[in-house]
Amino acid sequence: MIERVKGTRDFLPEEMIKRRWVFERIREVFEAYGFKEVLTPVMEYTKLFQLRSGEEIVKQLYAFKDKGGRDVSLRPDMTSSVARLYVNSFQNAPKPIKWYYIANMFRYEEPQSGRYREFWQAGVELIGSDKVEADAEVIALFVESYLATGLRDFTVNIGNRILLDEFAKMLGVRDNIGLMRIIDKRDKLTQEEFIKALKDFGLKDNKINKVLELINIKGKPDDVLPLAEELFNSGKSMEEISRLYKLTELLEWYGVSEWIRIDLGIARGFDYYTGIVFEAIAPNELGIGSIGGGGRYDNLIEVFGGRPTPATGFAIGIERLIPILEWKKLIPKLRVEPDVFVVPITEEVRRIAIDITTRLRRARIKTELELTGRKLRKALDYANRIGVKVTIIVGKKDVERGVVTVRDMETGEQSEVNIQDVEEKVREIIFKD
């Protein structure tokens, strides 16, 4: 027996209908904000990801040579692919470009709670504006996307990579990326482990205290941004803090400030972020951390050979969001079963049975037709097993009188119905609740 590949999953109909429901809720909001759907190839040249993150990234990829000897990889994210698409064909298009995607990604990581080697993300990229108004638009959409699924108990924590760079300069740290990676992992470490990591990095006690002061700057914007002004002293830092003040004001105008927090310790895992960064956290007992995030990446398009172009975006982690929605019982009960089962008693009436089935299907009523030649009793047993609401029994003598028998499978009641009135009767039973 051949088993599925480690880190991947088979989605049965009951799971797929939930996923589709979540996708559609998110898609509706994306499109309401004027974003248009794109889809890029599942494979890209490995060089694309090496340009973004260096040679080491290959260890995290499904990277291989194709039959032509070319180095290709399954995409680990969509931002790089979308940036490549933009550079290839859309540099002269009107700005801003607003694209969204819902697609599967692949990373060669050790599977764990909420993390798989194949996973799905729903995200957007807004290309062509360096204004804080673009950051606000994207973050407001980020919030509204979660709200559309029924989730309300979450926060969007906002940080700033430029402030972290300036902070590293204040400490005299040359490897600012290394420091950011330690700070980014702080929630996965105990206080002792975090302090040890900083010491191993080479920081003395006075500088470690500064780091602890930084990561404690988190909370509601009005409460913590004044603390940031006290910690930072460079002109560039003040500009970014002013940007955060303006951003939070805009988000208040969008009506989403209830979910907004400042957290200056957010670094995000990708090295290409250049300004405002953010992530969503939903308290849970499932061991799931961030359920999505994003930020500004003003240099990435230039790295891929394009003209300097500002951009910002986010990705929602579907594999992390859905378990939380299920845990909170926010996904409605959704039927995968057909609503109607049509049973021709003899082959002589199959044409009529097919005609009834076709009319119901064209009316978008989920209808199954008996295809195995079961006798009536076994057909009714099958209808009960698959959970249909209505069975239509098509018999020769009934058809000669222009009627069929419609059976309510919940109550067991059945009645003769004129063939032309079948759809009306079916709807009456299906929607009686």
Q: DSSP letters along 47-113, please?
A: HHHHHHH-GGGGGGS-EEE-TTS-EEEE-S-SHHHHHHHHHHH-TTS-S-EEEEEEEEEE-----BT
Please enumerate in sequence order all residues whose Cβ is within 8 A of that of 273, keeping only pairs 6 or more positions apart, or say none: 161, 295, 296, 297
Structural contact between residues 53 and 271, judged by C-beta atoms closer than 8 angstroms: yes
* 363: helix, strand or coil: coil
Element (H, E) at 320: helix 318-327
Residue ranges of the chain with pLDDT lower than 70?
113-114, 268-270, 433
Q: Which two tokens stand for residue 231?
A: 């910690």
| Local structure of residue 240 (DSSP, 8 states) | H
Q: What are phi and psi of 308, to 5 degrees?
A: -50, 125
Alpha helices in 172-299 (DSSP H): 176-184, 191-201, 205-215, 221-231, 235-253
Amino acid at 203: L
Distance of alpha carbon 124 from alpha carbon 34, whole angstroms: 11
For residue 197, what pLDDT is reported? 86
Structural contact between residues 341 and 305, judged by C-beta atoms closer than 8 angstroms: no
CATH code 3.40.50.800 region(s) in the chain:
340-430
For residue 113, what pLDDT is reported? 67
Handedness of CA 28, 30, 33, 39 (dihedral sign): negative
CATH code 3.30.930.10 region(s) in the chain:
1-154+282-336
For residue 269, what pLDDT is reported? 62
For residue 157, what pLDDT is reported? 96
Please enumerate in sequence order all residues whose Cβ is within 8 A of that of 62, keeping only pairs 6 or more positions apart, or say none: 73, 74, 106, 107, 108, 117
Length of the chain as a residue count: 433
For residue 207, what pLDDT is reported? 86
Beta strand pairing call for 97-106 and 36-37? parallel
HSE of 124, CA atoms in CB hemisphere, 13 A? 27
Give CA 274 to chain center in angstroms: 23
Q: Which two tokens stand for residue 57?
A: 């990234």
For residue 426, what pLDDT is reported? 96
Element (H, E) at 294: strand 290-296
CATH class of the structural domain 1-154+282-336: alpha beta
Distance of alpha carbon 210 from alpha carbon 161, whole angstroms: 17
The CATH number that domain 340-430 falls under is 3.40.50.800
For residue 433, what pLDDT is reported? 67
Distance of alpha carbon 5 from alpha carbon 103, whole angstroms: 19
Please enumerate in sequence order all residues whose Cβ is within 8 A of that of 186, keeping only pairs 6 or more positions apart, or say none: 194, 215, 265
For residue 181, what pLDDT is reported? 79
Q: What are phi and psi of 94, to 5 degrees?
A: -60, 140
